[in-house]
Structure 1
Amino acid sequence: MITLFQRPDISKQKIISSERTAKLLENGWHRADLHVHTCCSYDVPPARSMHPENLFNKGKSRGLDFITFTDHDTVKAYDLMGWNRNDLTTGVELSINDQENVGHTVHINVFEFDKQQYKEFNQLARKENNIYSLIDYFKSNDLPYMYNHPFWFQLGDRPNILAVPELAKNFPVIEYNMQDLKQKNLFSMVLAQRYGKGMVVTTDSHTGSIGKVHTIAKGDDFREYFTNISKGRSYMVIDEPIWKHLTGEMSAWIELVFSMEKDIREEMGFTTGVGKIDRIVDLLDKYGLNHHHRFNSAAMNAMQLVSRSGLPVFLYMLSKQPQVSRIGKMVNV
């Protein structure tokens, strides 16, 4: 049997740089970043720059043809912006913990649904916790959907790695996620190749980096665009390595935390999901350090200096290597 580690050439098949996209875009290809979070997500710092309206304008200015927001288990962005807005495709990142069929939490992006459909499939996900029932709903209602970061596992979960390849068979599109390790994205690419699935690259940005990477495909509307991706008629546009993307994301996150505005935080809520970091953020908010400009600026600059050194990202990537080795040993193609 051939293990995933023995297929290093896979990354070269569908990834191109933005320099190579000009002719394709002139010939009717379009681009989108299909995994973006706004301040409506619980783990996004509640800054005005992260409001859906501001991110929508930013995405348009960066040349995205289709814009969608995929907040965690919420569609508040569309309540704010409107459900039938031109050039805006509905989307959500749905989480489901199916212990019987999978054994860990799975994230799915779903698109082009209406308000009633969201209510139905969200209720189905919460009530049954059965991922295959959910997929059946998407298929019967002809909703585009994709498998997010297959080899990313939620903190506290006990990952069932062997369930991932079987689950991947049931998705038309698999994600290459710039927030995850390159090795794990290569594993995802192998699954996509083996099972004939499409792939998209996404920022999964929580800091406003919408469109920094994107996927290009032909399509006069979102449905046609997504269908072409699912059939492999697309390219992933990436100009920088993952470690650099993560470093930039972390630095931007620090700046957003220090610029949080109290009224938006009270409206949206915010948590990182990590207790110690949440307590630090609470202190910043409680004592209004954003009003103590000298201290605020000095603290932010110090934290960004550490972030830009690349050390936090290096330590993060190092901490995930045992998991990468486990995946490499357990998943075969």
Structure 2
Amino acid sequence: MPNSPTLFPAGHRPRVALTRRLPEEVERRMAELFDLAPRGEDTRLKPGEMVALMQASDVLVPTVTDRIDAAMMADAGDRLRLIANYGAGIDHIDVEAARARGIAVTNTPGVMTEDTADMALALILAVARRIPEGLAEMQAGNWNGWSPTALLGRRIGGRQLGILGMGRIGQAVARRARAFGMSVHYHNRRRLRPEIEEELGATWWDSLDRMLGHVDIVSVNAPHTPSTYHLLNARRLKLMKPTSVVVNTSRGEVIDENALTRMLRAGEIAGAGLDVFERGHEINPRLRALPNVVLLPHMGSATVEGRLEMGEKAIINIRTWADGHRPPDLVLPSML
């Protein structure tokens, strides 16, 4: 990062380009502070369009839907100096390539923690209690009244929850799970401090394989990195109980989606709640057809409050960088 007091002369505002439409309040604030290039349509940019935007901007504000690789940055020229990601995940950005070209990368961590944890619990309840099936029956006008054996789900109180990835969101899920009477287990790269384990009532498993065979529900809260790609592969999914449920609100690539689909169809896993998918918005049609699966369109962080806080963090990162200082949410390769 440059150490100069400011990167721009007095009166000059950095050119900031958006790749998607952001909430009106966020765009208005950015336009007040920067030379903003907003999007007219909320559509995904093609690679060539993205490169052209990078060539004409000091700062790019992408989202999780934008793939920014080394080749694109090599074609972008020398003007771009900051990628201020609107979101916490940065697996869609080649951070190493950006660093090599002198491009800083920032993100917006922390603001989506509570919202995503809420969605994880919502998916657990929706799958365990078969809420979408009941909703579909009501909307179709097929309900003929209460029955002792209709749409029987599973109680979540007293069940064993296994959390894969015990960062901010994983810990927030654990707090909610305890309030519902669940026992909390977790697997993480590093064990939590004893006082945090005690607060969460969480049991650490150094072996993911052993934890998967023990728990009733698995909540995936791990980022997508080379080491977590297909972490829940076919072999590991087979270790789970036939009555178990998988919920994923982090990154679709962590689960082998084809293997999960086969096991759900065969009744080897009882159900799944997925807010993210291995191939983005391209959903396996076999997965979509299953009655024991709840699919959501990446809604985990979709609250008004969360989106505004993401925008505020992005603005702070841009302003701090433009003033010649280290942005508070600078992403380093060692953090990946």
Q: TM-score, normalised by structure 2?
A: 0.26
**Higher gyration radius (CA):** 2
Structure with bigger helix share is 1
Q: TM-score, normalised by structure 1?
A: 0.26
